[in-house]
Amino acid sequence: MTPKAARPNPAVNPLADSTGSPVADLGQALRRRAETLAGERAGEMPENLEVLSPEAARRALHELRVHQIELEMQNEELRRTEEALEISRARYFDLYDLAPVGYFTLSEQGLILEANLTAAKLLGVPRGTLAKQPLSRFILPEDQDIYYLHRKALLETGAPQAWELRVLKKDAAPFWVRVEATTAQDADGVSIWRAVMSDITERKFDEAEKAKLEAQNRQLQKAEGLGRMAAAIAHHFNNHLAAVTGNLELVIDDLPRGAGPAEQLADALRAARQAAEVSKLMLTYLGQTQVRNEPLNLSEACRRSLPMLRAAMPKNIVLDTDLPSLGPAVRADANQIQQVLTNLVTNAWEAGGAGPSAVHLAVRTVSPADVPASHRFPVDWRPHHNAYACLEVVDAGSGIADRNFEKLFDPFFSTRRTGRGLGLSVVLGIVRAHGGAVTVESEPGRGSSFRVFLPVSAEQVLSRPDQAGKSPEIDACGTVLLVDDEQMLRKLGGTVLTRLGFSVLLAKDGVEAVEVFRQHQGEVRCVICDANMPRMDGWQTLAALRKLAPGLPVILCSGYDQAQVMAGDHPELPQVFLSKPYQLQTLRDAISRALVQANQPGGS
């Protein structure tokens, strides 16, 4: 039997609380429920009348039963509470250990005090090995500063911090995570901090792909805009240059040989023709120049250019070559391949600076998989052939800054001297016209590698002599109808044609040309017509004149490139296309070819 002091006092409720707290309310409720159950079980109570009076015995037994029932009820409450705790503990395990993010509790020094299973899985290590490990151990060396700066800000200010960095994972590639951290205190009041780590590798990949596509789209839009601008400038520029060069030629021809201003005028004519070459280079950048593609041994084409390249290079530059005798065959224009090589090598030795340097030139065959995807131009180019010929030029210069890669092939972009910069633009235009691509690899301080990739051709490379012949001579007599919307060019053309021995009729557009031709149809021997005119353009004028006189010799002129002007299906074609600006001899030759072709069967 329990000691007297331990016996419950019937007059005192052990759960009673004078403060009226929830504990007192709960105790009173349990007491009332126990008394109710005790009353229900009164018939089960044995009575010992020999020890106690009947009344005292009944009260004592009643009190004991009440306490017994209270204990039973408390035990039941404890059991339910334990079940709830087990359920809560299981839920906590799901929410904490199996969460989709990693949870860390860390000391101020950055030591891991606690981590969930997801954190251990993210880092690729057993959970038990994380305790007391510095979090910095799992961070990529290049991103350590990001971690330390944000941890310092977190502990000094107490403000929540968030940052992104790359994390190391055992037996796997580094991956991107986002860390969100807050300060806290443990049960003993010691300062700690907690961090949530989320894997954002997929998001980073999507962002990189989006940035890449946006950069490609910018390049495409820029190329399209530059193309329209360059073509328009070249057209108008060539029209004006035609007037300049033509008038200069006329004046020089009129001067007595050795006259004072002749030399200065000749210099002016040379400068005007050089300006015309710049215009042609702009069209080459657009891929709008006429080419004569044929099977070429790329190595041999490069070898033929070596003497010229070495002669143009400074004496302190060494050109090192690796050109196999049986190089890959490509279908290309030999002159344009030479221009690509010249521009790339010139760019390479200029990148080397004023001191001694070396340029490496190599040719080889590669598979499509060997064509790099990064820093590749045009940006929308994709390899579709089984093999590619690679022309590589490597310099030992200072390298290319990342911010300049997108602008490398823009017309007139240069990091050296203002006014330079068409060289690489022309390279891209030629390569694009040949269905190829250019890639660039560079690191600041370690030089650059430019590689041109052209589809390998299965055609046999043949050595053919130059078949260029002299234009046939014709009698410079009869009448020529000159159609041009530019008054200066009509005036100049009339003067030149008169000097060549022709009579001249002039028209400012196609409508007027048709009317003039109707009036003088029996006199007109040849028509020289501009392609771009208001009201009725050159093609419409050509078709209208041929309806009046089938087989009529027509020369179509334009400041745009021949390939661009002649593209498309046309009911009638000219005998000759003449690019502006042209020289007197070029015009004479064009008229001769047009008249000869018109007299041949099917010449119209």
C-beta contacts of 204-208 below 8 A and 24+ residues apart: 204/164, 204/176
Whether the CB-CB separation of 439 and 409 falls below 8 Å is answered with: no
The sign of the torsion formed by the CA atoms of 567, 572, 578, 579 equals negative
Confidence label for 69 from pLDDT (cuts 50, 70 and 90): confident
Segment (H or E) for 514? helix 510-519
pLDDT band at 58 (very low <50, low <70, confident <90, very high): confident
For residue 351, pLDDT beyond 90: no
| Cα–chain center distance at 92 | 47
Q: Residues 525-556: pLDDT tens digits? A: 999 999 988 889 999 999 999 999 998 999 99
Q: How big, in percent rounded to 5, are the helix, strand and coil portions of the chain?
A: 50, 20, 30
DSSP 290: -
Strands 357-366 and 102-107: unpaired
Query: Which domains does the chain show, CATH number per domain?
Result: 4-97 (no CATH), 102-199 (3.30.450.20), 214-285 (1.10.287), 294-455 (3.30.565.10), 479-599 (3.40.50.2300)
The two beta strands, 357-366 and 448-455, are unpaired
Mean pLDDT of 82-106: 79
For residues 261 and 346, give the distance between their C-alpha atoms in angstroms, rounded to a whole number: 36
pLDDT-based confidence at residue 439 (cuts at 50, 70, 90): very high
Question: Looking at residue 95, what is its pLDDT?
Answer: 72
Q: What is the mean pLDDT of residues 74-83?
A: 83
Mean pLDDT of 571-595: 87
> Which pLDDT score is estimated for 168?
92
Structure letter (DSSP) for residue 163? E
Largest CA distance in the chain: 164
Whether the predicted pLDDT of 10 surpasses 60: no
Counting residues of the chain whose pLDDT is more than 90, the rounded percentage is: 36
Q: What pLDDT band is residue 466 in, cutting at 50, 70 and 90?
A: very low
Q: What is the pLDDT of residue 372?
A: 92
What angle do the packed helices 422-433 and 334-351 form, to 10 degrees? 150
The mean pLDDT of 557-579, rounded to a whole number, is 85
Q: How confident is the model at residue 14 (pLDDT cuts 50, 70, 90)?
A: very low
538: closest CA among 598, 602, 481, 494? 481
Q: Return d(Cα 239, Cα 226) in angstroms, integer.
A: 20
Distance of alpha carbon 592 from alpha carbon 525, whole angstroms: 11
Query: What is the per-residue pLDDT for 208?
Result: 85
pLDDT tens across 221-246, in order? Answer: 766 776 677 667 666 777 777 778 77
pLDDT for position 432: 87
Top pLDDT among 427 and 258 is at 427
Question: Across all residues in the chain, what is the average pLDDT?
Answer: 82
**Which of helix, strand or coil describes residue 237?**
helix
Query: Angle, to 10 degrees, between the axis of helix 298-312 and the axis of helix 334-351?
Result: 50
Q: How many helices (H) and strands (E) does the chain have?
A: 14, 18
| Rounded-to-integer distance, Cα 513 and Cα 87, Å | 98
Residue pLDDT, tens place only, 124-148: 999 889 999 999 999 999 999 999 9
Residue that is written with structure tokens 């002649």 in the block: 566
CA-to-CA distance for 360 and 185, rounded, in angstroms? 64
Structure confidence at residue 43 as a pLDDT band (50, 70, 90) = low
Tell me how far apart the alpha carbons of residues 70 and 471 are, in angstroms, rounded to a whole number: 126
pLDDT at residue 446 is higher than 90: no
Give the Cα separation of 399 and 352 in Å (integer): 9
Q: Which whole-number Å values give the CA distances from 527 to 489, 536, 582, 594, in the listed order?
A: 15, 15, 16, 9
Tell me 409's DSSP state. T
**Picking from 110-114, 158-162, 241-245, 480-484, which range would have the lowest pLDDT averaged per residue?**
241-245
Q: Give the pLDDT band (50/70/90) at residue 9.
A: very low
Please list the residues that pair with 557 across neighbouring strands: 530, 578
294-297/329-332 β-pairing? antiparallel
Above 90 in pLDDT, residue 197?
A: yes
Buried b / exposed e along 380-415 (16+ C-beta atoms within 10 A): ebebeeebbbbbbbbbbbbbbeeeeebebbbbeebe
Mean per-residue pLDDT for 26-40?
70
Position 2 scores a pLDDT of 42
Looking at residues 268-291, what average pLDDT do you find?
69
- Strands 357-366 and 388-395: what pairing? antiparallel
How would residue 465 be classed by pLDDT, with cut points 50, 70 and 90? very low
Q: Is the pLDDT of residue 604 over 70?
A: no
In this prediction, residue 85 carries a pLDDT of 79
What Å distances lie between residue 388 and 148, 305, 392, 438, 458, CA to CA? Answer: 48, 21, 12, 12, 11
